[in-house]
Amino acid sequence: MKKTIVITGTHLTPALAIIEELKKSSSPKWEIYYLGRRYTMEGKKNQSPESLLLPQKKIKFINIPAGRLQRRFTVWTIPSLLKIPLGFIASLYHLNKIKPDVICSFGGYVSVPVMAAGKILSIPSLTHEQTTVVGLANRINGYFADLVAITFPQSKKFFPASKTIVTGNPLRPEIFQKDNNLYQFSQKKPQIYITGGSQGAQIINKAVWSILPQLTKKYNLIHQCGANDYPKLIKKYQKLPKKIKDSYFLVDYIRPKSIGWALDSDLIIGRSGANTVLEIAALGKPAILIPLPKTSQNEQFFNALYLTNHGGGVIIEQKNLSEKKLLKTIDHIFANFEKYQAKAKRLKKEIKLDASSRIVNKLQKLAQ
């Protein structure tokens, strides 16, 4: 038996986990399409991770020219608004052509026209919410969806109770695979993984580079700097003294097959998107979280609180971030490492590890 599914949304990490779970199924066999965005931001030609990674996994990726409501007025605000009907028309066209048995959404502006078109075409659908604070896109999707899967019970209040279920957050199986090393450090030191996500975080990169000599004296660093800063930083890296290079690995983006190696570090420093926080929690790792300000309803700050309220990490708000503050916080965590590690491991026991199979089971029932 064969079934067809369309996956959509801007949150790629849980989508990848669901794709891997779907591929395991022998009955039904799934034909998978992904309707998403080709570029990450208006006015820039940085390709989205989904447009790059999914074709490598032999998933049919289709660009949807969706628009969105921007939080502040820019030169791209009006062109983005004009794309909203275009995204809906494109979604109708592709869904009518593909004729999927079910749609699975992971939120974000690109998912809204797909979910709306699916409702008009009477295609059953499920949308998943990763965070405790629900954004506008998934609030709208909750109206169109037949089922709403949520990570945290406190998100129930945003959706109709009759169609809302708590599943947890799908976790990529790659985060538990630690043997695909990209680099071998020459000295045994505590290891830190620093990430600003696929696009990077310029302010984090700047702080790290300001204290690089001090950090590399005591720690080995894996630094995922993102696509935007990489061309500039790799030139600076090539001029570094050998003693710093030996303890510092710079990379633009870590592919899924090696992410488990990076996450197996002693300490993780990064933003606090829902998937990042939940993966850190599932691995039982201490973390320093620097929430991205001005996210929808300050969701990254509340995501970070989930980890730090359990004692497994520290929040540094971006307005308070400095190289001195970052270095002091890193040294503090390693000076009290056993305490932070023990609390992180206690939180690990609360994470649902079977979210992917739960969601796929619901998708199979919707597709019948």
Same domain, 223 and 122: no
Say how many domains are in the chain. Answer: 2
Same domain, 125 and 268: no
Looking at the DSSP assignment, which residues form a beta bridge with residue 34? 7, 61
Number of C-beta neighbours around residue 121 at 10 A: 14
Whether 125 and 89 share a structural domain: yes
pLDDT for the residue numbered 256: 83
CATH code, domain with 95: 3.40.50.2000
What does each C-alpha distance from 207 to 49, 107, 246, 271, 284 come to in angstroms? 25, 31, 20, 14, 25
Length of the chain: 368
Structure confidence at residue 297 (pLDDT)? 76
Q: What share of the chain is helix, strand, coil (3-state, %, to 5)?
A: 50, 15, 35
pLDDT tens digits along 308-317:
998 889 999 9
Residues of the chain with pLDDT under 50: none
Find the domain containing 295 and state its range: 175-348
To the nearest whole percent, how much of the chain has pLDDT over 70?
A: 93
Q: What is the percent of the chain where pLDDT is above 90?
A: 74
Torsions phi, psi of 295, nearest 5?
A: -75, 165
Q: Is 99 left (phi over 0), alpha (psi -120 to 50) or beta?
A: left
Same domain, 166 and 208: no
Q: 200, 227 in Cβ contact below 8 A?
A: yes
| Cα 267 to the center of its chain, rounded Å | 18
